[in-house]
Amino acid sequence: MLNIGDYALHQKIGQVGQVLGYGHQVINGTYITTLKVRFRNQSETLGYRGFMEDVYTNWILAETVLN
């Protein structure tokens, strides 16, 4: 289980970001857990570049994080 504050890797797009929260989507009448993740720019001076929410199964714990 990924926790708020963990860094997660999106398996389909290869982006790493920090988990900010949880959500849900209804797919075929079933509630599916989602993760809300904030992506960071490669350059620290530019700050953050956006957010993404996707189903939990598309995310894995990022082993290493580039600062």
State how far the alpha carbon of 37 is from the alpha carbons of 1, 11, 15, 30, 50, in Å: 14, 13, 10, 22, 9
The yes-or-no verdict on residue 23 having pLDDT over 60 is yes
pLDDT at 2 over 90: yes
pLDDT reported for residue 3: 95
